[in-house]
């Protein structure tokens, strides 16, 4: 039984309109139409200590929709990166688009809708967590994602670089 609204349009019709206008490009992606790419840049004097980040690429009927994410210390205080402070998940395209030309290691694999949801949950959790250079950094964000999607994760150790982590991830998977 459909519920009638005052304007005569049925509630179910409204839901269909909302789905078509807003959600269809995201919900139409079947398992396997979504790719997760883990990337890393090398350690250098310009990019100390390197960086690990990810891109979720969802195939839509209008082409791929890419969502890049990386974990950083909260902006405004460079000292926080070393002594610790609030962290934030940034859109990599906006934060540092030049970084993509410096990627030195990457690993890519398909993920399901459920795995994609887990990644968003992790990003939300890291968005309100503590950033610390030695034990809660960009690699720890990526490591949490890797484990959530069920890939074999490299062992973590304090002096590990993002590049070394991603190269080992590729070997294991």
How do residues 112-162 score in pLDDT, each as one tens digit?
999 999 999 999 999 888 888 778 899 999 999 999 999 999 999 888 999
162 and 114 in one domain? yes
Model pTM score: 0.75
Conformation bin of residue 76: beta by default, left when phi > 0, alpha when psi is -120 to 50: left
70 and 146 in one domain? yes
| Residue numbers of the domain that contains 2 | 1-28
Burial of 106 (0-12, 13-18, 19+ CB in 10 A): middle
Question: Which of the pair, 173 or 88, is modelled with greater confidence?
Answer: 173
Residue whose token pair is 């009927």:
61
Q: State residue 86's pLDDT score.
A: 63
80 and 99 in one domain? yes
Q: State residue 63's pLDDT score.
A: 87
83 and 130 in one domain? yes
76 and 18 in one domain? no
Flag whether pLDDT at 169 surpasses 60. Answer: yes
142 and 58 in one domain? yes
For 33, how many CA atoms within 13 A lie in the half-sphere containing its CB?
A: 15
Give phi and psi for 40, each to the nearest 5. -145, 150
Mean pLDDT of 165-173: 97
23 and 54 in one domain? no
Q: Tens digit of pLDDT for each residue in 4-39?
A: 444 444 433 333 333 434 444 444 455 568 999 999
13 and 70 in one domain? no
Instruction: Count how many domains the chain has.
Output: 2
Q: Return the bridge partners of 38, or none.
A: 54, 107
> How far apart (Å, rounded) are the C-alpha atoms in residues 132 and 59?
35
24 and 101 in one domain? no
Flag whether pLDDT at 106 surpasses 70. Answer: yes
Q: State residue 13's pLDDT score.
A: 39
35 and 23 in one domain? no
With beta carbons less than 8 A apart as the criterion, state whether 35 and 109 touch.
Answer: yes
87 and 62 in one domain? yes
167 and 92 in one domain? yes
């Amino acid at each position: 039984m459909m519920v009638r609204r005052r304007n005569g349009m049925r509630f179910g019709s409204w839901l269909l309109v909302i789905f078509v206008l807003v959600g269809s490009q995201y919900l139409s992606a079947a398992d396997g139409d979504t790719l997760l790419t883990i990337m890393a840049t090398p350690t250098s004097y310009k990019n100390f200590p390197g960086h690990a980040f990810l891109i979720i690429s969802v195939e839509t009927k209008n082409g791929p929709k890419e969502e890049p994410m990386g974990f950083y210390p909260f902006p405004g205080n460079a000292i926080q990166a070393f002594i610790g402070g609030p962290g934030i998940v940034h859109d990599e395209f906006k934060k540092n688009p030049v970084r993509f030309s410096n990627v030195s290691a990457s690993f890519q694999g398909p993920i399901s809708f459920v795995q994609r949801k887990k990644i968003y949950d992790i990003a939300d959790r890291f968005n309100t967590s503590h950033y610390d250079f030695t034990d809660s950094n960009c690699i720890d964000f990526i490591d949490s994602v890797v484990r959530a999607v069920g890939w074999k994760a490299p062992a973590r150790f304090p002096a590990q670089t993002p590049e070394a982590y991603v190269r080992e991830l590729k070997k294991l998977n």
